[in-house]
Chain A
Amino acid sequence: MKLEGGQISTSGLSFLLICYIFGSTIIIIPGREAEHNIWLAYIAGMTEGLIFAFIYTTLAQRFPQKTLIEINDLIYGPILGKLISLSYILYFLQLTALILRDFGDFFRGVLMPETPLVVFILFSALLGASAVRNGIEVIARCSIIIGPLAIVTSILVTLMLLPQMKITNILPIGDIPLKDFIKASHTVASVPFGETIAFLMVFAFMEKEKVKNIRKLTLLTIILGSIFLLINIFQTACTLGKTAQITLYPTFTAIRLINIGDVFTRLEALVIFAFLGLGFLKLTVSYYGATLGMAQILKLRSYLPLVLPLGVIIVVTSILHFENTIENIVWTSDIYPYYSIPFQIGIPLLSLLIAMVRKLPKQKTGSKQQQK
């Protein structure tokens, strides 16, 4: 019995991955401790992120057509594996809640400060739930529409901001204590790149003949997405300079500064849709991971009954997680990078090592069909 009948194509995976990396990063811009050297921190963070992605995709290729939950079962055995899987599901749930909260805070902060937070979170979660119910194929299709739209938007914004950019804003290069730099770059690595661990739930539904390309495709996509992200970071840093430190949402503040001949001003409304679309895709992937993982642990025939209950948990968590926006930002930069280390790098690395030592998966023709 298969939980998910859909298949994801190479283009679907690429755009989904790009959207996922853009996701909440574009709004909150983690790693701002690096100040005007933020783009250096991003380059370092992306390199670290590529190592993460290398580990994940090696795992995915070693266990083709298997999700993270099934991989854990194979490596750690049924009991310990279930425990680890459960902790991953809790992590995915929390991750979804955090993304929701980021976007809820953002929309409330910039659009409608007097509307209760729950409205934004609820509507975004409902969008996520409806996409999750329809399966990974539909999520990938949405990403093929939203991805190019977001890329085009970001390029347009960058072009329109050219008059406002000052290259002196990022000088001097490299005057940052190593400790701060490492902290900032690790934050960058952990927020968008480490979170791609959720894709271990998605790689399993790659078209069969394309499984061998997963690693190459993922790494290439991440590099491509990183370049776009870097352009945005660069643009924000050049436009805002020191003020990027004190604004809550630097990208959005930069877009507000667009002024071409006093005609094209205040264009931020145009990017709202792209931002919401990116956030929606990011939360959908981790939401999907949590729901599908839960169904696999409980050995359900379908994950659909779990979508709404888990959604309620996610919405409540995201509202109760922080008192206010500032707490969210501090948590993202000071606690989250360390908190997520075991999930993002510890366990996957351990899994890979164990799999290599135990020479998993064992080649048995008969056992493959039983494990479905």
Chain B
Amino acid sequence: MFSFLAKKLKFLQLLKKNLSQDQEEQNKSPQLTANLKTNLQMIKNILGNSDDIIIRPFVLGTKDQQEAALIMIDGLIDKASVHDFIIKPLMLESRSLNDNDSLADSIEELTETLVCIAEVKKVKTLDELVNDCLKGDTALLVNGHPGALIINTRGWKSRGIEQPQTEVSVRGPREGFTETLRVNTALIRRKIRDPDLTFETMTIGKRSKTDVTIVYLKGVVRPGLVEEIKKRLKKINTDLILESGYIEQFIEDAPFSPFSTIGNTERPDTVAAKIMEGRAAILVDGTPMVLTVPLLFIESFQTMEDYYSRPYYASVVRLLRMLSFFISIMAPATYVALTTFHQELLPTPLALSMASAREGVPFPAFLEAFLLGLAFEILREAGIRLPQAVGTAISIVGALVIGEAAVSAGLVSAPLIIVVAITAISSFAVIPQSDASAFIRFILFLLASTLGIFGISVGLLGILIHLATLKSFGVPYLAPFAPLKPADLKDTLIRFPLWLMITRPSSITKKDPQREKWGLMPRPQDDNNKG
């Protein structure tokens, strides 16, 4: 026991040592010298013999020639701009241009005269140089000058802006985020052309060095939110960030909850709307999925299209989504509870027809529903990652085997097939909570098969208590219902007309509360006066 504890303690101490060593290493990064050869040697030592590293030595000027070198990574650079705007001016035009005694007094002068690219900066340490090169920049080193110029030449093959696959809309913009961070920030900037829109970037991942950008609207964002996000992001000390899901799992409020407390979306218009409501978004390089915080439970039932179409149908659809969420978590549980414990609650004709359908089924209702639910989940998982042609084959096989054969063979009853099918369809209606609902469905199912309706009620109450405890970045998850903010109810069960959504949601932010003027209701002038 004690030895075990001692071992643990030692392990922890080792970890701490490692961490502090890392920090020390970071602090003493070697400076770039004035000697080109030493610099190149140092760079070669760090970058090794990788094929994709291009080191291009050349000579500057004619009179007193200066040795120089360009360092870049093949595939990450835009070759045309490197050729036309860096190599060409430096090698050719420097000869014709310069008759003075020395070519450049300092390396910065090159920027003013020869390098024809917008974004140029100077670095002094080796680490900065290597990091920037690995991002796709080109480094220029000149003999006799300490430091290097970093010229932005980033450009690689990337997917174009396409319609988002996960959130398709009938009405509304068709563009979705891409894998390139810069394109994504531009997409947001194009929606909100406000000088207050702020992007703050930090690098996360010891080895992947992924750029992560926080987006918010200064003057509207929830006070303290950005600081809190930064605090949590800074704590992430891992080697690899591949997707925003990595970030999400490191910064979420309730890691053990089935409910997600951080939203994600692929649509720039959704992000713009959420930023306008005082939220902040987290963009991660290399993924089209953007995180938005804080997330409220009610957001799972909202889509951007609700706001684009007129309020009546949007409200009905929203209520439908809520209903389907409840169906998706409760349907199998209710079926089991009714057939096993509370047959008396069914109207007599229904009870009789269900009993006759179940006649000859060899399993108890619990096992029957469990097996069929399992089969459905397997079908879904099998179909989801296959090419579309094979996916269709799977669904046909599944529908035939499960829908027809299983019933006619007397293995499962037909009403249960209906229940499972309704559950499946309903769970697709509320995609943001589909993970949570699968989990809850199973728990409620277990409770129902042991305790009937009482079990379901206990389960639902337990979920309610859990939801009431959840917070997302300081905002209660069930807001604006609990705690009750009557003014915020305008955008929950029923979507009010846009001209009535006068204030920003006060559960998110209280800054700049009024977002539109009063009395914007369209009142057409009665201009065909008949008098």
A residues engaging B (CB < 8 A)? Answer: 9, 11-12, 107, 111-112, 115, 119-120, 123-124, 127, 130-131, 134, 138, 140-142, 144-146, 262-263, 265-266, 268-269, 272-273, 276-277, 280
Residue in A9, A130, A140, A269 whose CB lies within 8 Å of B453? A269
Residues of chain A within 8 A (CB-CB) of B476 are: 141
Decide: B468 and A9 in contact? CB cutoff 8 A. no
For residue B337, give the distance in angstroms from its CB to the closest CB of chain A: 9
Residue in A124, A141, A265 whose CB lies within 8 Å of B468? A141
Chain A interface SS verdict (over half): helix
Instruction: Please name the residue on chain A nearest to B466 by beta carbon.
Output: A130
Known: A111-B454, A141-B476. A277 touches B461 (CB 8 A): yes
For the complex, what is the distance from the CA of A130 to the CA of B459, rounded to whole Å?
13
Q: Does B249 contact A (CB under 8 A)?
A: no
Q: Does B5 contact A (CB under 8 A)?
A: no
Instruction: Please name the residue on chain A nearest to B341 by beta carbon.
Output: A112
Count of B residues near A, CB < 8 Å? 27
Decide: A127 and B458 in contact? CB cutoff 8 A. yes
For residue A141, give the distance in angstroms from its CB to the closest CB of chain B: 4
For the complex, what is the distance from the CA of A138 to the CA of B464, rounded to whole Å?
10
B residues engaging A (CB < 8 A)? Answer: 341-342, 344-347, 451-458, 460-462, 464-465, 468-469, 476, 478, 481-484
Decide: B484 and A272 in contact? CB cutoff 8 A. no
Decide: A127 and B451 in contact? CB cutoff 8 A. no
Tell me the number of A-to-B contacts counted with CB atoms below 8 Å: 86
For the complex, what is the distance from the CA of A136 to the CA of B461, rounded to whole Å?
16
Decide: B478 and A145 in contact? CB cutoff 8 A. yes
Residues of chain B within 8 A (CB-CB) of A140 are: 482-483
For residue A151, give the distance in angstroms from its CB to the closest CB of chain B: 14
For the complex, what is the distance from the CA of A138 to the CA of B478, rounded to whole Å?
10
Residues of chain B within 8 A (CB-CB) of A263 are: 347
Chain B interface SS verdict (over half): helix
Residue in A11, A111, A112, A127 whose CB lies within 8 Å of B465? A127
For the complex, what is the distance from the CA of A189 to the CA of B17, rounded to whole Å?
67
For residue B224, give the distance in angstroms from its CB to the closest CB of chain A: 17
Instruction: Please name the residue on chain A nearest to B476 by beta carbon.
Output: A141
Residue in A12, A112, A141 whose CB lies within 8 Å of B452? A112
For the complex, what is the distance from the CA of A266 to the CA of B456, rounded to whole Å?
18
Decide: B454 and A12 in contact? CB cutoff 8 A. no
For residue A23, give the distance in angstroms from its CB to the closest CB of chain B: 14
Which of B461, B462, B484 gathers the greatest number of chain A CB atoms within 10 Å?
B461
Decide: A142 and B452 in contact? CB cutoff 8 A. no
For the complex, what is the distance from the CA of A142 to the CA of B341, rounded to whole Å?
28
Residues of chain B within 8 A (CB-CB) of A141 are: 468, 476, 478, 482-483
Decide: B462 and A130 in contact? CB cutoff 8 A. yes
Which of B456, B458, B484 gathers the greatest number of chain A CB atoms within 10 Å?
B484
Residues of chain B within 8 A (CB-CB) of A130 are: 462, 465
A-B pairs with beta carbons under 8 Å apart, 5 shown: A111-B452, A134-B469, A140-B482, A269-B453, A273-B460
For residue A197, give the distance in angstroms from its CB to the closest CB of chain B: 24
Known: A134-B469, A142-B468, A144-B481. A276 touches B346 (CB 8 A): no
Decide: A276 and B482 in contact? CB cutoff 8 A. no
